[in-house]
Amino acid sequence: MDTPVKREVVVPGDILDGDGLKPGAGTFSDEGHIYASLLGIRNEQSGYVNVIPLGGRYIPRPGDAVIGKVVDVGSSYWLVDLNSPYPAPLRVNEVPWRVDFGDTARYMDIEDTILAKVLDVDETRRVSLSMKDQTSRKLTDGQIVEISHAKVPRVIGKKGSMIDLIETYTKCRMFVAQNGRIWIDGEMEDMINAVAAVRMIEEQAQVMGLTEAVRSYLEGIYGKKE
Amino acid sequence: MLEMTEAVHELTRSHILRLAAAGKRGDGRGLEDQRPVSIQKGFVETAEGSARAKLGNTDILVGVKMEIGQPYPDSPDRGVLITNVELTPVASPDFESGPPRPAAIELARVVDRGIRETETVDMEKLCIESGEKVWLLFIDIHVLDYHGNLFDASNYAALAALTNTLVPISSKLGDGKDIPLGVLHYPVSVTVSKIGDILFVDPSLEEDRIADARLTVTTDEDGHVRAMQKGLEGSFTLDEVIRIISLSQKTGKKVRKTILEA
Amino acid sequence: MVKKLKLIDSKGLRMDGRKPDELRPIKIEAGVLKRADGSAYLEWGKNKVMAGVYGPRECHPRHMQNPAKAIVRCRYNMVSFSVDDRKRPGPDRRSTEISKVAGEAFSSVVFGEQFPRTSIDVFIEILQADAGTRCAGITAASVALADAGIPMRDLVAACAFGKVQGKMVLDLDKEEDNYGEADVPLAIIPRTEEIVLLQMDGSLTTKELQQGLKTGIDACKQIYQIQKEALKRRYAVILEEEETTEGDA
**Phi and psi of B136, rounded to 5°?**
-95, 125
> Are residues C35 and B93 in contact, defined by beta-carbon separation less than 8 angstroms?
yes
Give the CA radius of gyration of chain A: 20
**What CA–CA distance (Å, rounded) separates C190 from C188?**
6
Q: From the list A12, A52, A64, which residue is nearest C146 (CB)?
A: A12
> In this predicted model, what pLDDT tens digit does every residue of A31-67 receive, in sequence order?
999 999 999 999 999 999 999 999 999 999 999 999 9
**C153/A28 CB distance under 8 A:** yes
Q: How many CB pairs under 8 A join B and C?
A: 85
Instruction: Please list every residue in chain B whose beta carbon sits closer than 8 Å to the beta carbon of residue C51.
Output: 90
**What CA–CA distance (Å, rounded) separates B148 from B107?**
13
B183 against A206, higher pLDDT? B183
Contacts by B114-117 with C-beta closer than 8 Å and gap 24+? Answer: B114/B155, B114/B187, B114/B188, B114/B189, B114/B218, B114/B226, B114/B227, B115/B81, B115/B83, B115/B139, B115/B158, B115/B159, B115/B162, B115/B187, B116/B81, B117/B187, B117/B218, B117/B226, B117/B227
C11 against B247, higher pLDDT? B247
Domain assignment of residue C98, yes or no:
yes
Q: Do domains A9-53 and A65-139 have the same CATH topology?
A: yes
Q: Which residue of C has its CA nearest to A211?
A: C240
**What CA–CA distance (Å, rounded) separates A36 from C105?**
19
Give the pLDDT of residue A1.
Answer: 40
Q: Which residue of B has its CA nearest to A194?
A: B26
User: Which ranges of chain B does DSSP label H, i.e. alpha helix?
Assistant: 10-21, 102-117, 150-163, 169-172, 205-210, 238-261
**B86/C89 CB distance under 8 A:** yes
Coil, helix or strand at residue A199: helix
**Beta carbons within 8 Å of B255's beta carbon, 6+ residues apart:** B34, B37, B152, B156, B188, B190
From the CA of C53, how many Å to the nearest CA of chain B?
7
CATH number of A9-53: 2.40.50.100
Mean pLDDT, all residues of chain A: 92
> In this predicted model, what pLDDT tens digit does every residue of C138-169 receive, in sequence order?
999 999 999 999 999 999 999 999 999 999 99
Instruction: Please list every residue in chain A whose beta carbon sits closer than 8 Å to the beta carbon of residue B10.
Output: 111-113
The torsion defined by the Cα of C29, C214, C160 and C202, in degrees rounded to 10, comes to 180
Q: From the list B46, B59, B88, which residue is nearest C77 (CB)?
A: B88
Q: Which CATH class is domain A143-222?
A: alpha beta
**What CA–CA distance (Å, rounded) separates C19 from C32?**
32
Q: What is the CATH number of the domain that holds C169?
A: 3.30.230.70
Give the pLDDT of residue B174.
Answer: 86
Q: Which chains touch B (3 or more CB pairs under 8 A)?
A: A, C
**A160/C245 CB distance under 8 A:** yes
Give the pLDDT of residue B1.
Answer: 36
> In this predicted model, what pLDDT tens digit does every residue of A160-195 receive, in sequence order?
999 999 999 999 999 999 999 999 999 999 999 999
Give the β-pairing of A40-45 and A9-10: antiparallel
Give the pLDDT of residue C1.
Answer: 44
**B24/A81 CB distance under 8 A:** no
Instruction: Please list every residue in chain A whose beta carbon sits closer than 8 Å to the beta carbon of residue B21.
Output: none
From the CA of C223, how many Å to the nearest CA of chain B?
24
Instruction: Please list every residue in chain C whose beta carbon sits closer than 8 Å to the beta carbon of residue A139.
Output: none
A80 in contact with chain C, both atoms CB, cutoff 8 A: no
Q: Which CATH class is domain A65-139?
A: mainly beta
**What CA–CA distance (Å, rounded) separates A167 from A184?**
9
Percent of chain C at pLDDT > 90 equals 87
**C240/A208 CB distance under 8 A:** yes
Give the CA radius of gyration of chain B: 19
**What CA–CA distance (Å, rounded) separates C140 from C233?**
15
Domain assignment of residue C162, yes or no:
yes
Omega before residue C56 within 30° of 0, cis? yes
- Confidence band of C241 (pLDDT split at 50, 70, 90): very low
User: What residue numbers bound the domain in which C136 lies?
Assistant: 26-233
Give the pLDDT of residue C4.
Answer: 66
Number of domains, chain C: 1
**C155/A125 CB distance under 8 A:** no
Percent of chain A at pLDDT > 70 equals 96
Q: From the list B9, B15, B26, which residue is nearest A69 (CB)?
A: B9
Domains and CATH numbers, chain B: 10-185 (3.30.230.70)
Residue A71: is its pLDDT beyond 70?
A: yes
> In this predicted model, what pLDDT tens digit does every residue of C165-217 receive, in sequence order?
999 999 999 999 999 999 999 999 999 999 999 999 999 999 999 999 999 99
Q: From the list B93, B140, B146, which residue is nearest C81 (CB)?
A: B140
B238 in contact with chain A, both atoms CB, cutoff 8 A: no
Interface of B with C (CB under 8 A): 43-47, 50, 57, 59, 61, 63-65, 67, 84, 86, 88-93, 97, 99, 138, 140, 142, 144-147, 171
Give the pLDDT of residue C237.
Answer: 54
Q: Which residue of B has its CA nearest to A83?
A: B6
**What CA–CA distance (Å, rounded) separates B4 from B252?**
29
Mean pLDDT, all residues of chain C: 92
**B15/A110 CB distance under 8 A:** no
Q: Tens digit of pLDDT per residue, chain B (262 long)?
A: 333 445 567 888 899 999 999 999 988 899 999 999 999 999 999 999 999 999 999 999 999 999 999 999 999 999 999 999 999 999 999 898 877 789 999 999 999 999 999 999 999 999 999 999 999 999 999 999 999 999 999 999 999 999 999 999 999 988 889 999 999 999 999 999 999 999 999 999 999 999 999 999 999 999 999 999 999 999 999 999 999 999 999 999 999 999 999 9
Omega before residue C61 within 30° of 0, cis? yes
Residue C228: is its pLDDT beyond 70?
A: yes
Q: From the list B46, B59, B147, which residue is nearest C128 (CB)?
A: B46
**C58/A7 CB distance under 8 A:** no
Domain ranges of chain A: 9-53, 65-139, 143-222
Give the pLDDT of residue A224.
Answer: 80
Residue A2: is its pLDDT beyond 60?
A: no
